[in-house]
Amino acid sequence: MNLEQLTQQTIEIVRQASSFIQQEAALFSRDKIEYKDLNNLVSYVDKEAEKLLVAGLNALLPEASFITEEGTTGQEPDPSALNWIIDPLDGTTNFIHGIPVYCVSVGLARGKELLLGVIHEPSLNEMFYAWQGGGAWCNGKPMKVSNVESLADSLIATGFPYYKFEKQKRYMYILELLMQKTHGIRRMGAAAVDLAYVAAGRFDGFYEYNLNSWDMAAGVLMIKEAGGTVTDFNGGDNYLFGGDIIAAAGGHKELVEVIRENF
């Protein structure tokens, strides 16, 4: 498997889905919103973009299965297999409200081993991508995580839970602590964008819980290839299918300590 060539082919398929999303953004009306469950929004744009991605990627690599947010394939995913891991529109709430922070995210993994990742943020036309052993890139330029070594000098990104609010108090306490220990906290509303920005050195770290594999697969590989560190909240490696993640540059150890001690 030529991962560099496969990544370039994946980029073209992602670009097509992004073009569809941007075309629909100009026409979208909120009366087309659907609710999967509490505060979990979806639209025909998510579903149709996913179908475009699945069709293109299936033709590209027929032996791979799919783990997708919207479940348009009808497959029962096997996390141990070779899988395309797809979020067709990460940041759906932003998209619906006309906030230009959303993206298409596609990763390829064999079990927990990440092979390639592509994230396209259509509003800025930024294509982030990486393949195993090939480094991380944005629009053809190499990416490196920031050289910040301490939490005190870091700008941190996170997301807020929209369900499982029983952990909210602990989560908000961590937010309070990090507000005092860092340059600040940002909440963009699209985890894949946050991870891409860590890989690009724009954010110095990111943490969140209640995420899914499609939120993080592509971005995790980019951060690793860009020289960063990724763990779960306990500092272990159970993040891709475990739901919580800490990704950072030099301040990773400090960030893990704050979260592990208080979550």
Which residues belong to the annotated binding site for Mg(2+)?
69, 87, 89-90, 215
CA–CA distance, 224 with 162 (Å, rounded to integer): 28
- The label of the residue with tokens 């395309």 reads 84
CA–CA distance, 105 with 88 (Å, rounded to integer): 6
Rounded to 5°, the CA angle 57-122-134 comes to 55
Length of the chain: 263
Q: Nearest to residue 221, comparing CAs of 139, 156, 133, 140? A: 133
141's CB contacts (< 8 A; 6+ apart) are: none
Q: Is residue 185 within 8 Å of 83, Cβ to Cβ?
A: no
Token readout for 190 is: 């699209």
Binding residues: 69, 87, 89-90, 215
Q: Nearest to residue 18, comparing CAs of 114, 110, 129? A: 129
